[in-house]
């Protein structure tokens, strides 16, 4: 398995394959994500209805997958997603709880409630890119390179996927961080193009990407 692309997003900088592709000091995480969305000329109006966790995951995936053509190179059922985060959907859970706590002003919002599950972020990516393979969100205290490797390796070993989007997406108030990687079967990846840098998908390289992002 090879890491053929990797993307990182924090509150001020977006990097693709180690190179800075966008940088800005915004007032808060939400403004930064919206500004970056416009900068990359993405056309997906539903983006503005998403919570910050979904915005972060969606934007990270858009940048990661740009020009990769994975949905034409792989059957949609052979593309999977495995994402870790620490806070689940806690920020949106808190907003929903506020809307139902006051019985005198009881007004739960369906547009908020829909984002009270962390796997909605992988769902949004799947809808956008027509991905139908296995996908899962795992709650972890921190980015865990060994766990990511084990989970993705299991999918490839069982021949459940030939391509996988994986990594870490964490958003809680203004603390946003993502590290996403595109992992592909070595033979299939090389049959399309020879990667500029051969990065074997293993725990040490995953950890290196986390540290360099």
CATH number of residue 114's parent domain = 3.40.47.10
Residue 95's pLDDT is 72
Tokens, residue 21? 């592709």
End-to-end Cα, the chain, rounded Å: 21
pLDDT, greater one: 116 or 162: 162
In this predicted model, which residue has the larger pLDDT, 6 or 189? 6
The range of the structural domain enclosing residue 24 comes to 2-212
Domain count of the fold of the chain: 1
- Please state the rounded mean pLDDT for residues 115-121: 79
Q: What is the pLDDT of residues 165-201, one digit of tens each?
A: 999 999 998 889 999 999 998 877 765 556 566 799 9
Specify the DSSP class assigned to residue 28.
S
What b-and-e string marks burial along 175-199, b requiring 16 or more CB atoms within 10 Å of the CB?
ebbbbbbbbbbeeebeeeeebeeeb
Tell me the longest C-alpha to C-alpha distance in the chain: 63
b/e string for 108-124 if b means 16 or more Cβ within 10 A?
eeeebebbbebbbbbbb
Average pLDDT over every residue of 193-211: 84
Burial of 103 (0-12, 13-18, 19+ CB in 10 A): exposed
Helix (H, G, I), strand (E, B) or coil at 160: coil
pTM score: 0.89
List pLDDT tens digits, range 24-56. 988 888 899 999 999 999 999 999 999 999 999
pLDDT for the residue numbered 112:
63
């Amino acid at each position: 398995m090879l890491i053929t692309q990797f993307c990182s997003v924090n509150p001020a900088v977006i990097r693709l394959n180690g190179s800075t592709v966008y940088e800005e000091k915004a007032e808060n995480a939400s403004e930064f994500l919206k500004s970056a969305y416009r900068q990359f000329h993405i056309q997906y109006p539903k983006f503005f209805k998403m919570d910050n966790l979904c915005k972060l995951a969606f934007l990270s995936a858009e940048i990661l997958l740009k020009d990769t053509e994975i949905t034409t190179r792989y059957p949609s059922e052979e593309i999977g997603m495995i994402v870790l985060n620490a806070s689940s959907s806690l920020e949106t859970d808190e907003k929903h709880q506020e809307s139902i706590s006051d019985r005198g002003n009881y007004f739960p919002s369906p547009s908020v409630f829909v984002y009270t599950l962390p796997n909605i972020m992988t769902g949004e990516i799947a809808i956008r890119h027509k991905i139908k393979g296995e996908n899962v969100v795992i709650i972890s205290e921190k980015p865990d390179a060994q766990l990511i490797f084990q989970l993705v390796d299991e999918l490839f070993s069982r021949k459940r996927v030939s391509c996988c989007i994986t990594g870490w997406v964490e958003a809680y108030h203004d603390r946003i961080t993502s590290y996403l990687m595109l992992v592909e079967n070595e033979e299939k990846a090389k049959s399309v193009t020879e990667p500029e840098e051969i990065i074997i998908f293993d725990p040490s390289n995953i950890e290196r990407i986390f540290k360099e992002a």
